[in-house]
Structure 1
Amino acid sequence: MTGFMRGSVMGAALILAGCAATDAGTGRPRPIEGESITYETAPCFGTCPVYRVTVNADGSGTFEGRRFTAVTGERAFTASPDVYRRFAAALEPYRPKDGDLRYENGSSLCGPAMVSDMPGADVRWSEPSGASRSIHFYYGCDRGDDGKMRRAIADAPQLLPIAAFIGKR
């Protein structure tokens, strides 16, 4: 193999590696091209921002402000694929191996609930095959992990370029 061909193969491998993430269940790389993540906040008994944001692996996305956001209605945005990968990586530890999980009052996944008027978030991973997995997480759940899961899910949207749509809090 010539040096040029070896360099081309190495370059292609690096590019393809950028289109993969690690599956939480198996630890093996999985392709992310064509994948999307939808993150939707749930209301609280106050003025918590309520919105839905969907971001695709290529960085294209849609924000829909519903209540208590700086922008109401739908807005498109663009982020880099690297921003998508960081967003996906922040949520990956909580991605179900299959199906849907609900962390809410009365669920064995929740543990004792701290308070009853906290908001929550729904996260849905949609795969190119049409399959999807999701979690619903109520921020009042005490999982005994010092709030690690709660913070990771609540902070993930800060990685996306949507702060101006949400507004100051």
Structure 2
Amino acid sequence: MKSVIVGLAAVALAGTLSGCVVVDASRNGRPVALESETIRYETAPCFGTCPVYAVTIAPDGSGTFEGKRFTAVTGIKRFQATPAAYHSFAARLAPYRPAEGEKLYQMGTALCGGPMVSDMPSVDVVWSEASGASQHLNLYYGCGPQAMRDALRSAPDALPIAAFIGDPQRPR
């Protein structure tokens, strides 16, 4: 009887913890503890009026938006998203998350390759885990795979920050 109770407790615990861990194929099947990481998404200037801002969000949906240039909100603004919004944002970025270290799609690098467009903005994404480990992706929008550029550009749409960014017709 005791072994049955211990077994049921283990199953219940595993079920409880399963919401906190995701196995991500892009990380070689290693589990990622989503409940203990933050994502920072930061845009850089272009030659023009592209919004320049940084947003940091935690799995519970708590976040900060920092408007720097050409945004409706300048300075730091706290916001609360749903955990589902965080997970949607994280899922849009997940296919491009480096397994470890960093990936740089910048002018002059091999990853950028092919034809390039000048004067475009870039985006810098950092996933920070509670353990201190982090992964870093920097993409210049003038090069790199189109699907990646589209996914990274639209990722903030999953978060309730559109009013902070401002005019949706302005290039990102």
Q: Does 1:20 find its partner at 2:17? A: no
Provide the C-alpha distance between the structure 1 equivalents of 2:53 and 2:87, rounded to a whole number of angstroms: 21
Provide the C-alpha distance between the structure 1 equivalents of 2:56 and 2:136, rounded to a whole number of angstroms: 13
Percent identity among equivalent residues? Answer: 56
Unmatched runs of 5 consecutive residues or more in structure 1: none
TM-score (norm 2): 0.86
Cα deviation, residue 34, structure 1:
1.8
What SS does the corresponding residue of 1:33 show, helix, strand or coil?
helix
Q: Is the 8 A contact 2:55 2:63 kept in 1?
A: yes
What SS does the corresponding residue of 1:117 show, helix, strand or coil?
coil
Cα deviation, residue 12, structure 1:
5.0
Instruction: Name the one with the larger helix percent.
Output: 2
Cα deviation, residue 66, structure 1:
0.3
Assess, with a 3 A threshold, how the Cα gap between structure 1 residues 139 and 59 changes in structure 2: closer, same or farther: same
1:115 to 114, 117, 127: 117
2:130 is matched with 128
Q: Is the 8 A contact 2:105 2:144 kept in 1?
A: no
Provide the C-alpha distance between the structure 1 equivalents of 2:150 and 2:87, rounded to a whole number of angstroms: 18
Quote the RMSD (CA, aligned, Å).
Answer: 1.9
Provide the C-alpha distance between the structure 2 equivalents of 1:28 and 1:126, rounded to a whole number of angstroms: 16
What SS does the corresponding residue of 2:139 show, helix, strand or coil?
strand
Counterpart amino acid of residue 103 in structure 1: Y
Provide the C-alpha distance between the structure 2 equivalents of 1:86 and 1:160, rounded to a whole number of angstroms: 8
Q: Is the 8 A contact 2:123 2:138 kept in 1?
A: yes
Cα deviation, residue 9, structure 1:
6.6
Q: For structure 1, which segment, 13-22 or 130-139, has the greater mean C-alpha deviation from structure 2 after superposition?
A: 13-22
Alignment of 1:1-169 (within 5 A): 1=4, 13-23=14-24, 24-143=26-145, 147-169=146-168
Matched pairs, number: 163
Cα deviation, residue 62, structure 1:
0.3
Counterpart amino acid of residue 16 in structure 1: L
Cα deviation, residue 25, structure 1:
2.2
Assess, with a 3 A threshold, how the Cα gap between structure 1 residues 15 and 29 changes in structure 2: closer, same or farther: same
Q: Is the 8 A contact 2:28 2:99 kept in 1?
A: no
TM-score (norm 1): 0.88
